[in-house]
Each structure stands twice: as C-alpha cells, then as structure tokens.
Amino acid sequence: MQLNPSEISDLIKKKIENFDLSAEAHTEGTVVSVTDGIVRVHGLSEAMQGEMLEFPGNTFGMALNLERDSVGVVILGSYQHITEGDTVKCTGKILEVPVGEALLGRVVDALGNPIDGKGAIDTTETAPIEKIAPGVIARQSVDQPVQLGLKSIDAMIPVGRGQRELIIGDRQTGKTAIAIDAIINQKGTGIKCIYVAIGQKRSSIANVVRKLEEHGAMAHTIIVAASASESAALQFIAPYTGCSMGEFFRDRGEDALIIYDDLTKQAWAYRQVSLLLRRPPGREAYPGDVFYLHSRLLERASRINAAEVEKLTGGRVKGKTGSLTALPIIETQGGDVSAFVPTNVISITDGQIFLESNLFNSGIRPAVNAGLSVSRVGGAAQTKIIKKLGGGTRLDLAQYRELAAFAQFASDLDESTRKQIERGQRVTELMKQNQYSPMSVAQMAVSLFAANEGFLDSIEVNKVLDFEAALQLYMKSEQSELMSNINATGDFSNEISSGIRTAIETFINTHSW
C-alpha cells in the first residue's frame, strides 16, 4: 500500500493539535425528493444562494433555488446514494476550488480534483468559484498584445491582454485548433493558460493534453475538464472554476489566458439544471438568466491596474498590471449566428473570430472570415510592426472580396482591377497556416512585408506557401540577427524596413522554391 503524504505522523499530530474542539452549530434539513441530480430539501431556512451543502457520503451540493418551504439543490458529482430522508447540512461557505501555481501542468475536474493520476495537488490556497468582476477603478485599458501566432488573426483581428475575443463557428471549422495554437504560442511568454473543456468527449480532452505535451505547452497550462459524461451541474460550474484559477494569476500581477471550449454546451447544461429546478423556460427553453450566466463569467476577464495588484497582494507585487484574457468558444448550428446564445455572447465580448465551414472546406485554414471578424479593442494592443504591415492585408482582402465575383472574367477586366484580384488571391493564400506551427512576430512581419511590397505578385498562386516556407527558412538561417531584433522591439523603422527588403531581394535572387 502506498503512503499518502498527508499521513506523515508529524502532520497528523499538528492537525490534531490545531483541531477546533468547539461545539459545531449548523442548520440541517431533510431530503424530500431526488430527481436527476436535483434534490429538494425541506428545512435549511438559513441556506444562502449558491451555498455549498453537505450530503451524507462526502457529497456536496449547491443551493440554487431558495423557496418558502424548500431549497432546490444541484448535486456536484454522483447522486445515486442520496435517498429521501437524508440529512443535509449547511456549510456556510460558497463553493471553493484550489488555485495556485501548483495547478500548472495538471488536469483537474470542475471541483479542482486532479484526474491525471499525478497525485495530490500541492496547494493550500482556495478561491470561491463565483466572484464579482473587478470594478471600474481597478481596471486599466488593454494595450499589450497576446500573440496567438496565427498570421490571419494577429494581423487582422489582434487580441490584447485582458480582452474577451469570441471564437465562433460551426462544428469542424477549427475552433479548438486556434485555441490550442494560442496556448502553444504562449510558451516562454510568461502567459499562463487555462483550457476549460465543457461537455467534450473524454477522447478529445486526452488528445488536447497529448498535443500540448508534445509541444511542451503543458508546463504553463491548467486543464479543467468537465466531460460529457459528467453531471450537468459540473459542466455548468467548470468555466467559473477555470476563471477563479485564472484570476489567481491576474490578481498577482501576472498575465493569463483562458479558453472556454465551449460555452454553448455550458448553456445547455445550465438549461438542463434550470428546467429540472422548474424555473420557467424562455426563448429556446433557456432560463431567463442565461445572459447573466455568460456576462458575469466574461466580465471577470479583465486587465487590472498596478494599484489594484498592489492592494490585492498586500504590497508584495508593485508596479505590475495583471490580466486575464478570455477566448470563449461558441458552436453555431448551420452558420446561424442569430440564435440566442451566439447573439448573447457576441454582444458581451470585445469582438469575434468568425470561422466558416465553406472556407474550411476550400482549404483556407484557419477558416477565418476576415469580413465578419472584428476586434474592438485589440488594435491598441497590436505590435507596431504588425499593425503597420497588417493594415494593408486587411484592405487587400476587403477589396478582393468585392471583386472576387469577377475573377473568372479576368481577361476582360482593366489592369488595376486584375491586379487587385491577383493580390487578393495571393494574400488569401498567404493567410493559410498549418496547425501547431505558430509564428513569431518577426516571421509574420516578413511574410506580411512580402505581400505588402508586391514581392508575391510575380509568384504563382499555388506557389505562395512554398515561397513563404523557403523565405522563412532563409530568414531564420541567414538573417537571425534582424529577426531577433524585430522580435525584441516590435518597432517598425526605416532601418528594419530596408533590412527586410534587402533580405527578401537577396533571397529571390539567390534561392529557388
């Protein structure tokens, strides 16, 4: 038998010494009915909304409906052993989960229990899962970038630290792929990542974990998993759990990135819980507070100023701002963004990355629709060089979209229209990027520069990606000084501009692709 670290006799002795021996006063109630994870409890006149309640067999529930003679409770976990007449105790606490650095690299369930078989999590700190978002005074505007490492997103739909950027699209359009690339690209940036999987297959979650491990990205990542086989209550609270774990880093002046994959399933789980609690159904049978469900969650993703960080850490961290960036994911049905939950989340977030299945199927991956995707605050956070070079890309693509319908009459079109169409085709091609291969700022800058300055115009459309790959290889081996210079500062000066230009010209003259 294995000895548990908590069984060391000194520790036990200390625990017994500090054990509080005063008589325990609490309120009790009795279970009246148990239906699909929802328990009605008689009594418990002093229960609070959202309070944790203790059932026999070390099971906990959360009080959601406070009625005149009874309390409606969701059981967190299995409820098979709970029967009518069981006693239920108030704990006087809101549901709390473990938080801290020790969670990095771990896979936990919605209650913060490890499920990766790597033993207990070495942290003493806990945080309530429901917290009020930082106030107006505590906040600071978004002005630092989170590089997702994807050309099409970083150039056209930039995300800043503390922003909420929605990833929306049908099934099989690469929503999770973007999220995983974003996590991989945070390696070495100091941004801690939290990936919350809600209502997904266990096999998909295992896949994500394996991919992150392969790319060395687990060390800075926490995975919170409430798989499809877990109860609706756990799927409903999982995002709040992840958020509390992210807030731990934000409140200590660090930066964190949280991905909710996906909030549609969380809304489904909440709908199930609400209907079983007999709350009145509204549009699409969702309860009345489904907007608040998401708004209170996403409002907690924010950037807080140095004064707030200093206050929250008791003066230990000075002069550092903290941020929690959220990338919620919403799955649409048949491209319908006007359904209830998608419209809600679109209105809450600071922009959306819109993925389309026909783009995906025609081989444009990531399948970002550049016309419908926006970032309302990210522009202020973009690196100077990407901002300067990405502006042209956006314009080229917009003009191309207008003219694309005429592309088949190319021979009858005037010179400038034909040029625009050709430029658009090449830029569209250039925006393609393989999965698990995020790019640095310098790499992106070189690619965008080549497109902007017309270096691609003389290259066949189907050769653009080969050209880019060869160019990147050349830049990496021959121009590493220039590249690291760009990565370090992110500025765009005449010197850098001419540096890139001569490098590309040399490459074109001396290399083939």
Partner 1 sequence: MSEQATLARPYAAAVFKRAKETDTTATWSQSLAFMSVVLKNEDISVVIDNPKVNKERLSALMLDICQEHINEENENFLKLLVHNNRLMLLPTIAKLFEAYKAEDEGYIEVEVFTAYALSKEAKQNFTATLEKTLGKKILMNVAVDKSLIGGVLVRAGDRVIDGSIKGRLQHMQKALQ
Strand ranges (DSSP E) for 119-191?
Answer: 126-128, 145-146, 159-160, 166-169
CB of 17 to partner 1, least distance (A): 12
Tokens describing residue 298: 């996403």
Residue 376's region, left for phi above 0, alpha for psi from -120 to 50, else beta, is alpha
Tokens describing residue 297: 């969650």
- The residue (of 24 and 415) whose beta carbon lies closer to partner 1 is 24
**Residue 510 burial class via C-beta count within 10 angstroms: exposed 0-12, middle 13-18, buried 19 and up:** exposed
Q: Does 67 bind partner 1 (CB under 8 A)?
A: yes
Contact 370, 152 (CB under 8 A): yes
Q: Does 46 bind partner 1 (CB under 8 A)?
A: yes
Q: Does 1 bind partner 1 (CB under 8 A)?
A: no
Under DSSP, the state recorded for 131 is: -
Window of 63-71, 143-151, 169-177, 343-351 that interacts with partner 1 by CB under 8 A? 63-71
CB of 58 to partner 1, least distance (A): 8
CB of 43 to partner 1, least distance (A): 5
- The residue (of 17 and 412) whose beta carbon lies closer to partner 1 is 17
CB of 89 to partner 1, least distance (A): 8
What is the distance between the alpha carbons of residues 440 and 155, in angstroms, rounded to a whole number? 12
Site string for partner 1, 70-109 (x = CB under 8 A): x------------------x--------------------
**Residue 379 burial class via C-beta count within 10 angstroms: exposed 0-12, middle 13-18, buried 19 and up:** middle
Query: Pick from 1, 3, 17, 68: which binds partner 1 (CB under 8 A)?
Result: 68
- The residue (of 70 and 163) whose beta carbon lies closer to partner 1 is 70
Q: Does 44 bind partner 1 (CB under 8 A)?
A: yes
What is the distance between the alpha carbons of residues 328 and 259, in angstroms, rounded to a whole number? 6
Q: Does 115 bind partner 1 (CB under 8 A)?
A: no
Total number of residues that touch partner 1 (CB under 8 A):
26
- The residue (of 44 and 486) whose beta carbon lies closer to partner 1 is 44
Residue 315's region, left for phi above 0, alpha for psi from -120 to 50, else beta, is left
423 is catalytic: no
Q: Does 45 bind partner 1 (CB under 8 A)?
A: yes
CB of 124 to partner 1, least distance (A): 14
Q: Give the DSSP H or E segment for 328.
A: strand 322-331
- The residue (of 85 and 319) whose beta carbon lies closer to partner 1 is 85
What is the distance between the alpha carbons of residues 332 and 355, in angstroms, rounded to a whole number? 10
CB of 25 to partner 1, least distance (A): 5
Whole-number CA gyration radius for the chain: 26
Q: Does 42 bind partner 1 (CB under 8 A)?
A: yes
Q: Does 462 bind partner 1 (CB under 8 A)?
A: no
Tokens describing residue 121: 């999590």
Q: Does 13 bind partner 1 (CB under 8 A)?
A: no
Catalytic residue among 202, 279, 376, 401: 376
Tokens 């000194």 belong to: 10
Contact 160, 329 (CB under 8 A): no
Q: Give the DSSP H or E segment for 44.
A: none
Tokens describing residue 395: 């314009």
- The residue (of 6 and 512) whose beta carbon lies closer to partner 1 is 6
Q: Does 15 bind partner 1 (CB under 8 A)?
A: yes
For 63, the 3-state DSSP assignment is: strand
What is the distance between the alpha carbons of residues 482 and 478, in angstroms, rounded to a whole number? 9
- The residue (of 65 and 207) whose beta carbon lies closer to partner 1 is 65
**Which positions from 18 through 37 interact with partner 1, judged by CB under 8 A?**
19, 21, 23-29, 32
Residues carrying an active site annotation: 376
Contacts with partner 1, residue ranges (CB under 8 A): 6, 12, 15-16, 19, 21, 23-29, 32, 40, 42-46, 58, 67-70, 89
